[in-house]
Structure 1
Amino acid sequence: MKTISHFFYDKFILSGMSVSMAEYLNLALLLVGLLILLVLIDFLTRKIIVVTFNKFSEKTNTKFDNILVKNKAPRNIAHIIPVIIADRLMDDIFIHFTDVGNMAEKGLDVFGVVLTLWIVRSLLNTFKDYFKTLPRLKDKPIDSYIQVFMIFAWVVGFMFSFVIITNTQIYAFLTTLGAASAVIILVFKDTIMGFVASIQVATNDMVRIGDWITFDKFGADGDVIEINLATVKVQNFDKTITTIPTYALISDSFKNWRGMSDSGGRRIKRALILKQESVKYLNNEDIENLKKIQLLTPYLERRQKDIIAYNERNLIDKNLLINGKNLTNMGVFRKYMETYVENHSAINEEMTIMVRQLAPSSQGIPIEIYAFSKDKDWKNYEYIMADIFDHLVASVSYFELQLFELPSNTTFHNQL
């Protein structure tokens, strides 16, 4: 190779050219020749490795090698050979310019470090994409772990590049780095907090990809689509994307609906507000009319017998309805609501079903339904709840009850 490195130089000297000019022209021609050689070798190597790997991946059943090709790992690996050849030829190319050659070698070594980081990044991205295809890992924060490894790789790469450029020993650099740790912690505070948070989130299984979460502080209400080192991305139900700092998941309060999704139903918790002035005792005629409602017939017949027997046994004067035991239209309506919900085909009868009276307020008396729908899909859930309350709102008048609502313009107009 030394013969080649002096070939052009000797020709220029024999032609009468000055030594300095011959050295510069010799360097220029050698650099051009080296560049052409490296481009050709890189092209051929890349073609051979990529084509070979593509054919190999087509014959295998695993997805890993296909993802490896997708993330350009074989292509990045192919660049190693030209870099090795260039490193071997540096001394011969810069034979007359030792100082410049040393700088070029350092630059080539730094490029080798960067190329190694590219290869590592391709491999890590491949592992990330592959792990996401595995059912048991689909809901895990793979992005966070991959980012941690990538940050570690970049830090190591920076350290080696610094050592190469400054000609310092690695232990001396680490000593200096330890002294500057306070500054490093301050600069990478969010990254460190995100790293710690992502570990706690994964360890405690607080959030998974695909979970529906509600985070009022950040206006997030939707499905988690990505968990990485710094942020958690939530796709809201209006298809907007909300980005939440990862460490906020352990420092602030949020609601995860996974428990509902994993359970046998979705909770229905809604009330009708009755006017207090419409509540009354039921006389025999009222009870006989309500017996025509099939869902109430068995209940009313049983309760009427029990009440008559109690009042007769205790010699209750029934000239006034307030004396003794009596049925009220609100109590019977509450029983009707409960029976109707229990018999509704879309309600999960194995979970809690309750109709309860809440504390009266200035607006009236709330009668609340607490139950769970079998179907947890949002659209179907809303339809089920609306279907139940459509029926109940329309049935209130059969019990001579009235629903509370604030007066409107038409209310005053009708009164006038």
Structure 2
Amino acid sequence: MQEVQETLEQAESWLAERPDVDTLTKLALLLAGAWVANFIVKKILLRGLLRILSYTPAGKDRQAIERNIVARIANVVPALVIAFGITSVPNLSDEVTIIVTNVCYAFIVITIARAISGTLTIVNTLYERQPEAQTRPIKGYIQVAKIVIYAVATILMIAVLIDKSPVILLSGLGAMAAVLMLVFQDTLLSLVASVQITSNDIIRVGDWVEMPNLNADGDVIDIALHQVKVQNWDKTITFIPTRRFISDPFKNWRGMQESGGRRIKRSLLVDQQSIHFLTDDELKAVKRFRLLKSYLQSKQQEIDDWNQQLKDEGKEPVNTRRITNIGTFRAYILQYLENHPKVHQEMTLMARQLNPTSDGLPIEVYCFTNTIAWAEYEGIQSDIFDHLLSILPEFGLRVFQHPSGIDMREMTRNLHESGTKSSS
């Protein structure tokens, strides 16, 4: 024992003669102690805590594990060891000790702020799994809370680094209010817009929105504080400032999606020169249509009753009412739609005649499909007009079409042939 004591006394005297070595030795011990504390917390305590949490629903959530909130908080321990242990290192000036201590405290502040921010991210992720998240997103509010947290953390870090009270810094913010409002103008406007969007249920994640002035036409995939992400149908992404949904006009197709039906509104342009009263032969031909039996019977009875009241004047066909091919065709369209299995029968359904134009007489089909799927909707619409275009000649009607090059060549050939026959 005496030999050991003498050895320690010699080491102390040797270190006393060499203060730099003593300082470096204590610093090395301090760093080693911080490393040991970090190892114990992260490798032993933290691992045990995560093992315990793995038996709970929260511990099985991958989002919570990936965010590693507990590991971030664990970084506070070695910083505290250094902050409290730096004062025991000899031969360090007060300025160095204060700087190291303040840096450690600043690191602790930012570490806690990051941990709180990660916790808020997990809260938002878990909330987005709830059904009400589609109508009441909180991502904008979470981002505002993060901004506040990091703003407070920045003030505390600056106060710690300059070794001043944060109250002094906060008192100086009053004079900078105008500057801050200018700097955070977009954030404030976006916050107001987010509140209005949420409270008025203007848009939701999954809504189909159309904003032509920004070339946006697709589904909303994310609603954040500053931007709303819209995935267009060509799979491109349009980033729209949140406040534009308050200030600019746009179309939300949610009503169509919730109704279960999608509108068909398209016209056939009928050549007006092909419109006429049905002759007896034509009337006999259209009676073959199963869909027109009830219409023709009721219409013929109505016309006969009308014409009987004319008495002698009814002998002139010009004074009588007769069935037209265009009216019969409209009745056929209506009956065809009412019997179509993919047309929504509980919504508006009609075939109407619009104002005549130089391009023909528009016969508009107005109905709704019983599906909102885009591809199916287009297929149903195409099938309906395929049929109507094909059956139109059965009513003695023609579709109007501007003359093409083939038509002009055919006309020229006919004129040439007629001229040749006349000369011969």
CA change 1:316–1:294 in 2 (3 A) is farther
How much does 1:342 deviate?
A: 1.0
1:340 aligns with 2:336: yes
Partner of 2:129: 133
1:302 aligns with 2:305: no
Q: How does 1:239-278 map to 2 (within 5 A)?
A: 239-278=235-274
CA distance in 1, matches of 2:12, 2:245: 68
Partner of 1:331: 327
Single out whichever of 116-125 and 55-64 deviates more from structure 2.
55-64
1:11 aligns with 2:14: yes
Match of 1:295, SS state, is helix
Corresponding residue to 2:310 among 308, 314, 323: 314
* TM-score normalised by structure 1 residue count: 0.91
Corresponding residue to 1:30 among 20, 26, 30: 26
How much does 1:415 deviate?
A: 2.2
Alpha-carbon deviations, 1:51-82, whole Å to 9, x = none? 23432343223577543222111211221221
CA distance in 2, matches of 1:28, 1:218: 63
CA change 1:148–1:316 in 2 (3 A) is farther
Corresponding residue to 1:119 among 78, 94, 115: 115
Single out whichever of 77-86 and 227-236 deviates more from structure 2.
77-86
One-letter code aligned to 1:180: M
Partner of 2:420: none
Q: How does 1:136-155 map to 2 (within 5 A)?
A: 136-155=132-151
Alpha-carbon deviations, 1:299-348, whole Å to 9, x = none? 11221122022112222645654423222111111111111011100111
1:216 aligns with 2:219: no
One-letter code aligned to 1:189: Q
CA change 1:308–1:164 in 2 (3 A) is same
Partner of 2:376: 380
CA change 1:254–1:316 in 2 (3 A) is farther
CA change 1:62–1:110 in 2 (3 A) is closer
CA distance in 1, matches of 2:402, 2:105: 79
CA contact (8 A) 2:140 2:223 kept: yes
One-letter code aligned to 1:201: I
Single out whichever of 309-318 and 275-284 deviates more from structure 2.
309-318
One-letter code aligned to 1:399: F
CA distance in 2, matches of 1:390, 1:166: 79
CA contact (8 A) 1:353 1:372 kept: yes
CA change 1:308–1:254 in 2 (3 A) is same
Match of 1:206, SS state, is coil
Partner of 1:4: none
Alpha-carbon deviations, 1:231-260, whole Å to 9, x = none? 000111111111100000001011111111
How much does 1:138 deviate?
A: 4.1
CA change 1:12–1:62 in 2 (3 A) is closer
CA change 1:279–1:57 in 2 (3 A) is farther
Q: How does 1:96-107 map to 2 (within 5 A)?
A: 96-107=92-103
CA distance in 1, matches of 2:251, 2:88: 67
CA distance in 2, matches of 1:245, 1:113: 32
Corresponding residue to 1:280 among 276, 279, 282: 276
1:170 aligns with 2:166: yes
CA change 1:146–1:37 in 2 (3 A) is same
CA change 1:323–1:34 in 2 (3 A) is farther
CA contact (8 A) 1:113 1:160 kept: yes
Partner of 1:206: 202
Partner of 1:403: 399
Match of 1:242, SS state, is strand
CA distance in 2, matches of 1:206, 1:353: 29
CA distance in 2, matches of 1:316, 1:105: 117
CA distance in 1, matches of 2:60, 2:145: 19
Looking at CA atoms only, which structure, 1 or 2, has the larger radius of gyration?
Answer: 2
How much does 1:8 deviate?
A: 8.3
CA change 1:187–1:69 in 2 (3 A) is same
CA distance in 2, matches of 1:276, 1:61: 72
Structure 2: which 5+ residue stretches go unaligned? 1-9, 413-424
1:157 aligns with 2:153: yes
Superposition CA RMSD, Å: 2.1
Alpha-carbon deviations, 1:117-153, whole Å to 9, x = none? 1111110111111111222224533321211110010
CA change 1:285–1:312 in 2 (3 A) is farther
CA change 1:248–1:91 in 2 (3 A) is same
One-letter code aligned to 2:275: V
Partner of 1:226: 222
Match of 1:268, SS state, is strand
CA distance in 2, matches of 1:49, 1:41: 10
One-letter code aligned to 1:77: I
One-letter code aligned to 1:333: F
Partner of 1:290: 286
CA distance in 1, matches of 2:264, 2:330: 16
One-letter code aligned to 1:313: Q
Alpha-carbon deviations, 1:355-412, whole Å to 9, x = none? 1111122211111111111111111111111111111111111111111223222222
Match of 1:303, SS state, is helix
CA contact (8 A) 1:347 1:372 kept: yes
Match of 2:110, SS state, is helix
CA distance in 1, matches of 2:157, 2:35: 24
Structure 1: which 5+ residue stretches go unaligned? 1-6
CA contact (8 A) 2:33 2:81 kept: no
CA contact (8 A) 2:58 2:64 kept: no
